[in-house]
Amino acid sequence: MRSLLCGAERNRKQRKNGNINELEKVLIWKAFLPDYFFDRVWDITEEDISAIGVKLFLLDLDNTLSEHNGKVPCVEAVEWLQKLNGLGVDAVIVSNNTASRVKAFADLLNLSYVCKAHKPFPGGFKAVIRRFGYSCAEVAVVGDQIYTDVLGGNLSKLKTILVRPIKPESGLFLWLKRLLEEPVLHKIKTMRRE
Ligand SMILES: [Mg+2]
């Protein structure tokens, strides 16, 4: 207890001086960094699935399975989901979008779904995991956004896979979101080079 108090006191003083200690830096980065990075969800191969040990994918919808506000899923995504089915790997759509949008895709792809999931809050992810009964180590969150998909997966202690957006979105809000992702994307690029 004494050493914890000393550590807290030291951290307080460092913050006062504008410093963040190394452990805090690691913890902050860890929340935003994905475990894996792929260009597209359909680039995740059978070998990758087996190496990562995934039994259930929690899939984002917009810009992961379909273009942002696209009317249909990408053909490659449909084929990849069929492969998953053949491998006996489960998949559920977990999206922050509305029921009317998410249900149409889920019906088309014959998948279960959670809409208005409020990612990055873990509630939506946890509800699905409870239903399927897998351990956290067997579940991977896949999505194109750091502050919803990756952060939400990390907060839920699941494996996280970041994919590149299928098509850049238009609109000021989405542009700002992408701008805020830049420091994390830069960190990922640096780590991949190391
Ligand atoms: Mg998305």
10 alpha carbon – ligand 1 mean position (Å): 40
Query: How far is the centre of ligand 1, averaged over its atoms, from the C-alpha of 109 (Å)?
Result: 17
pTM: 0.81
- What is the average per-residue pLDDT within 40-44? 97
Q: Could you tell me the distance, in angstroms and rounded to a whole number, from the CA of residue 144 to the centre of ligand 1?
A: 5
Output b/e per residue, 111-132; b: 16+ Cβ within 10 A: bebbbebebbebebbeebbeee
Tens digit of pLDDT for each residue in 61-116? Answer: 999 999 988 889 999 999 999 999 999 999 999 999 999 999 999 999 999 999 99
pLDDT of residue 182: 83
H helix or E strand, kind and range, residue 162: strand 159-163
CA dist 175 → 13, 23, 85, 102, 180 (Å): 37, 31, 35, 23, 9
Q: Taking residues 25-49, what's their average pLDDT?
A: 89
Ligand 1 centroid–CA 63 distance in Å is 5
Q: What percent of the chain has pLDDT over 70?
A: 85
The span from the CA of 169 to the CA of 41, in Å, is 18
Please tell me the distance between residue 1's alpha carbon and the centre of ligand 1 in angstroms. Answer: 43
Output the pLDDT for position 19: 58
- Does the pLDDT value for residue 3 go beyond 60? no
Q: In whole angstroms, how far apart are CA 9 and each of 14, 21, 23, 120? A: 9, 12, 15, 31
- Measured in Å, residue 8 CA sits from the centre of ligand 1 at 38
Distance of CA 182 to the CA centre of its chain: 16
Ligand 1 center to residue 149 CA distance, Å?
A: 8
Element (H, E) at 16: helix 2-16
Instruction: Give start and end residues of each alpha helix (H) in 58-138.
Output: 75-87, 99-109, 123-132
Query: Cα of 7 to ligand 1 centre, how many Å?
Result: 39
pLDDT for the residue 177? 78
Mean pLDDT of 111-132: 95
Domains in the chain, CATH or no CATH each: 34-193 (3.40.50.1000)
